[in-house]
C-alpha cells in the first residue's frame, strides 16, 4: 500500500527533525546537488519534488485548475480541526482517509484533486507525509499566480491517525454567524477569515452549478489580485448559469459566480470594513493572506516542532504592469454596494468597452 510506505518513510524523516525550527534564511546550507542553498539540510530533498510538482502537476508552472484546487485542498484538510470535536488539522487525513472525507458534503468536487495528488505521490515515489505534501503543493501552486505572496512552508508534520469529523468545513450557504463561529473555534478572528478568502481571487466553482464547471469567482482568476474584493461588493444582476442553486447569489457579470457566503461577509458589519480594505491594496492582501495561511497551514501542530523550508517555494511573479484594481466594463461607482460604515469604498475606474463575459477556467 502506498500509504504504508509513506507512513514508514515518515518515521525516518522524523529522526531528521530538529527540536526548534530554524528561522527562515538565518543559516545557509549548500545541498549536495550543487545548485540549491537552503536554511536546513533536511529541506534539500524537497527541491526535486517542487520541480516535479511544477512540471507534472501544475502543467509547467501555471496558475490553472490544479493550482486552484491544490490551494483549496490546503484549507479543506487543515480546517478539519476543533478543540472539542476532534480532527488533526493540517495532517493529510483528507488523503489518507479519502474514502471518508471526500464524502462530506462540504468537500464536494474535491475528490478530483485528492485523486490527482495521490496518483502524483504514488508515481513519483513521494516519501513525505501527506500533510506536508498537501501544504507544499498548495504553497507551490500559489507561487504560480502572479501577484501572490511567497508562502511559508514548514516541514515535519506527523502522519494522520484518523479521519476528520464531518461538519467542520464551512459551506457557502452557512450564515456569517456560523462561519465566524467555526473559524473562531479553530483559532481565527474575523479579519483572518476575510484574509483567507483572498484565495477566491484564483478560484473557480465546479459543483455549485454543475452546468457551468470552472466558473471563476472574479474576472481575473489567473492573477492573485484584489478583484474578488471589488466584484463581490458590486450589485448582483444575474446568475451565470441556472438560478436557485444552494450557496449561490447573483453576480455582477456573465461568466462569474458569487458565493452566498462571500456576498454576506462583504456586507456584514463585522467583516465589511476589512473586506473593503483589501479592495485596492495589493500589499495588504499579500501580507494578510500570507499571515493567515501561515497560521492555517500548521493547525493541529506545534510550530517549534517543524522545520522552516520556506526557501524551497518559488518566488511568485509580480502582477503585470497593466493589472490593477478596477471596476468591470460598463459599470460605475454606483454599482458598488457600500457596506463599511466608517470609510467610503475606494474610487475606481471601469475598464473601457462594453460589458463582457468572463471565460471559464479551462480544465487541464
Q: Write the pLDDT tens digit of every residue in 311-320.
A: 999 999 999 9
Residue 248 confidence (pLDDT):
98
pLDDT tens per residue across span 316-349: 999 999 999 999 999 999 999 999 999 999 999 9
Residue 27 confidence (pLDDT):
72
Grid coordinates in use for 312?
524551497
End-to-end CA distance of the chain: 28
Grid coordinates in use for 352?
473601457
Per-residue pLDDT band at 28 (split at 50, 70, 90): confident
What average pLDDT does range 71-88 have in this prediction? Answer: 98
Say what percent of the chain tops pLDDT 70.
93
Q: Which residues lie across from 86 on neighbouring strands?
A: 82
Residue 1 confidence (pLDDT):
43
Grid coordinates in use for 306?
517543524
Which segments are annotated as binding site for Ca(2+)?
77, 89, 91, 93, 201, 218, 220, 225
Minimum mean pLDDT range among 12-21, 66-75, 111-120: 12-21
Backbone angles phi, psi at 336, to 5 degrees: -80, 130
Which segments are annotated as binding site for heme b?
200
Q: Which residues lie across from 167 on neighbouring strands?
A: none
Per-residue pLDDT band at 364 (split at 50, 70, 90): confident
- Give CA–CA dist 92/131, Å, rounded: 4
pLDDT tens per residue across span 283-318: 999 999 999 999 999 999 999 999 999 999 999 999
Angle between helices 111-123 and 65-78 (to 10 degrees): 100
Residue 62 confidence (pLDDT):
97
Residue 133: name the closest of 183, 180, 77 by CA. Answer: 77
- Give CA–CA dist 128/156, Å, rounded: 8
Which segments are annotated as binding site?
77, 89, 91, 93, 200-201, 218, 220, 225
Residue listed under C-alpha cell 464551512: 170
Residue 133 confidence (pLDDT):
98
- Give CA–CA dist 187/10, Å, rounded: 27
pLDDT tens per residue across span 219-233: 999 999 999 999 999
Give this prediction's pTM: 0.92
Asked if pLDDT for residue 357 goes beyond 90, the answer is yes
For the annotated catalytic residues, the residue numbers are 76
Amino acid at each position: 500500500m502506498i500509504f504504508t510506505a509513506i507512513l514508514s518513510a515518515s518515521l525516518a524523516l522524523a529522526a531528521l527533525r530538529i527540536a526548534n525550527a530554524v528561522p527562515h534564511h538565518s543559516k545557509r546550507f549548500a545541498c549536495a546537488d550543487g545548485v540549491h542553498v537552503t536554511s536546513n539540510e533536511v529541506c534539500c530533498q524537497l527541491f526535486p519534488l517542487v520541480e516535479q510538482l511544477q512540471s507534472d502537476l501544475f502543467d509547467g508552472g501555471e496558475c490553472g485548475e490544479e493550482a486552484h484546487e491544490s490551494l483549496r485542498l490546503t484549507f479543506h484538510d487543515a480546517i478539519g480541526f476543533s478543540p472539542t470535536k476532534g480532527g488533526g488539522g493540517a495532517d493529510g487525513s483528507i488523503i489518507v482517509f479519502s474514502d471518508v472525507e471526500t464524502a462530506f458534503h462540504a468537500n464536494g468536487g474535491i475528490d478530483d484533486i485528492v485523486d490527482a495528488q495521490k496518483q502524483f505521490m504514488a508515481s513519483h515515489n513521494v516519501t513525505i507525509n501527506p500533510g506536508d505534501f498537501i501544504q507544499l503543493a498548495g504553497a507551490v501552486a500559489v507561487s504560480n499566480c502572479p501577484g501572490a505572496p511567497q508562502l511559508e512552508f514548514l516541514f515535519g508534520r506527523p502522519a494522520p491517525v484518523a479521519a476528520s469529523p464531518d461538519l467542520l468545513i464551512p459551506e457557502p450557504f452557512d450564515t456569517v454567524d456560523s462561519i465566524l463561529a467555526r473559524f473562531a473555534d479553530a483559532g481565527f478572528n474575523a479579519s483572518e477569515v476575510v484574509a483567507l478568502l483572498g484565495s477566491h481571487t484564483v478560484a473557480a466553482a465546479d459543483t455549485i452549478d454543475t452546468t457551468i464547471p470552472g466558473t471563476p469567482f472574479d474576472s481575473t482568476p489567473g492573477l492573485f489580485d484584489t478583484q474578488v474584493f471589488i466584484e463581490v461588493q458590486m450589485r448582483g444582476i444575474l446568475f451565470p448559469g441556472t438560478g436557485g442553486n444552494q450557496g449561490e447569489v447573483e453576480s455582477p457579470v456573465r461568466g462569474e459566480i458569487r458565493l452566498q457566503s462571500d456576498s454576506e461577509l462583504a456586507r456584514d458589519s463585522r467583516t465589511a470594513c476589512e473586506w473593503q480594505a483589501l479592495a485596492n491594496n495589493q500589499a495588504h492582501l499579500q501580507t494578510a493572506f500570507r499571515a493567515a495561511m501561515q497560521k492555517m497551514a500548521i493547525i493541529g501542530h506545534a510550530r517549534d516542532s517543524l522545520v522552516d523550508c520556506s526557501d524551497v517555494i518559488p518566488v511568485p511573479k509580480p502582477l503585470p504592469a497593466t493589472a490593477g484594481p478596477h471596476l468591470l466594463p460598463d459599470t460605475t461607482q454606483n454599482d458598488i454596494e457600500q457596506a463599511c460604515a466608517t470609510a467610503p469604498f475606494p474610487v475606481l475606474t471601469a475598464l473601457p468597452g462594453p460589458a463582457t463575459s468572463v471565460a471559464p477556467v479551462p480544465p487541464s
